[in-house]
Amino acid sequence: MKSERFFPAEWYEQSCVQLTWPHVNTDWSGYLIDADDCFLDIARHISEREKLIIVCSEIDRVKVLTKSLNTRNIIYLNIPNNDTWARDHGGITVFENGYPVIMNFQFNGWGLKFPSNLDNQITRKIFERSIFGKNVKLENHLDFVLEGGSIESDGRGVLLTTSNCLLSENRNEMFGKEIIEERLKNYFNVRKILWLEHGFLEGDDTDSHIDTLARFCDEKTICYVKCDDEDDIHYNALKSMEEQLLEFTDLNSRKYDTVPLPMAEPMYHEDERLPATYANFLIINDAVLVPVYGSKKDSEAIDILKNIFKGRDIIPIDCSVLVRQHGSLHCVTMQYPKGVLDE
């Protein structure tokens, strides 16, 4: 019997979310208290609604930090980590004949830019702790570099990604676009891949991860970052991205509904522009956690997302500290769909 795979969209009901906590030996050391506060806020809202896996190198310190949370919903795992970007070193879940399969791809620090030797082992080590359900399988694809932030699923057989990331040097350039597309279709059982050829955020280390630029919100809707300032460095690239998104179609050749999100106001750290974006939200059970940056644009983005995600709580999380390390809220989380834990 031929096996059938299904790659759930992020709004599929979830078992848990993973966080990989910062520690003193990471790049967060200069403002670790601020980073802890942000992670604590994210952890609080997740653990109120579903299980939370916290991977950490300093388990006693993290347990003290999180003692006021719903700890009955928290699974602490003492596993060494280089950094905190769970979206990119975390396992990516599909269903095969109804059972979860956690795919463990190679993570190489976004094309060998940063150390990743410890982070690349996290998914395997989580699986070895036997916290997942008895019917969950781990599938290793360590000959292929893939980060969770680089792909989006509409839950109906379409994958959204960017050429700038997936075709970049030091990831899978030895394969070429045709083979990469074939592999993605086989891994995720998708029938169509939408390749964005435009769009970037200054200060981004990921080579234009899709989750910083454009997101599926439901089976019919894509929201995306729009820049209205013609003098902004992003204007032309994001305008070209918008034009391409407006022409994308689903498996039934229907165009997606497209909703623009405001471009976050410019933020800087040590004279470097940071990749602040409202597209880097996380969908969890009954809620959406939205990154905000202490800006007048925050309320505009929140109102737009409230209109898109009717029936879900829209919860702002101050992610000003996260963008100092060139990521945001979605980047530090990885969701696991319902069925991954025995419930």
Q: Over the stretch 166-216, which tens digit does the pLDDT of each residue have?
A: 999 999 999 999 999 999 999 999 999 999 999 999 999 999 999 999 999
Residue 342 maps to a domain: no
Q: Which residue has the higher pLDDT, 343 or 242?
A: 242
Residue 121 maps to a domain: yes
In one-letter notation, the amino acid at residue 94 is: V
Q: For tokens 């930090």, what's the residue?
A: 65
Q: Give the pLDDT confidence of 109-137 residue by residue, as tens digits.
A: 999 999 999 999 999 999 999 999 999 99
Residue 2 has pLDDT above 60, yes or no: no
Residue 343 has pLDDT above 80, yes or no: no
- How far apart CA 166 and CA 178 sit, in angstroms, is 12
Residue 31 CA: distances (Å) to CA of 26, 59, 79, 182, 320: 10, 19, 22, 43, 12
Length of the chain: 343
> What is residue 92's three-state secondary structure?
strand
What's the pLDDT band for 1 if we cut at 50, 70, 90? very low
Q: Give the pLDDT confidence of 21-80 residue by residue, as tens digits.
A: 999 999 999 999 999 999 999 999 999 999 999 999 999 999 999 999 999 999 999 999
- How far apart CA 230 and CA 221 sit, in angstroms, is 26
- How far apart CA 78 and CA 98 sit, in angstroms, is 30
User: Which pLDDT score is estimated for 182?
Assistant: 97
Token pair listed for 29? 């050391």
What mean pLDDT comes out for the span 138-146?
97
Torsion of CA 31, 36, 117, 115, to 10 degrees: -20
pTM of the model: 0.97
E strand or H helix at 267: none
What's the pLDDT band for 141 if we cut at 50, 70, 90? very high
Domain that holds residue 38: 5-337
- How far apart CA 335 and CA 306 sit, in angstroms, is 21
User: Which pLDDT score is estimated for 342?
Assistant: 83
DSSP H helical ranges for 77-189: 86-89, 109-112, 122-128, 163-166, 176-188
User: Which pLDDT score is estimated for 3?
Assistant: 65
- How far apart CA 81 and CA 106 sit, in angstroms, is 15
Token pair listed for 256? 């997606």
DSSP class of residue 53 equals E
User: Which pLDDT score is estimated for 105?
Assistant: 98
What mean pLDDT comes out for the span 291-304?
97
Answer positive or negative: Cα dihedral of 57, 94, 155, 49. negative
- Of 319, 174, 182, 160, the C-alpha closest to 241 is 160
The values of phi and psi at residue 91, to 5°, are -70, 150
231 burial level (CB within 10 Å; 0-12, 13-18, 19+): exposed
Residue 243 maps to a domain: yes
Residue 76 near residue 63 (C-beta atoms within 8 A): yes
Beta strands across the sheet bearing 287-292: 282-284, 287-292, 313-318
> What's the chain's average pLDDT?
97
Token pair listed for 250? 């689903």
What total of structural domains would you count in the chain?
A: 1
271 burial level (CB within 10 Å; 0-12, 13-18, 19+): exposed
Percent of the chain predicted with pLDDT > 90: 98
- How far apart CA 39 and CA 45 sit, in angstroms, is 10
Residue 343 maps to a domain: no
> What is residue 192's three-state secondary structure?
strand
Q: Give me the CATH number covering residue 20.
A: 3.75.10.10
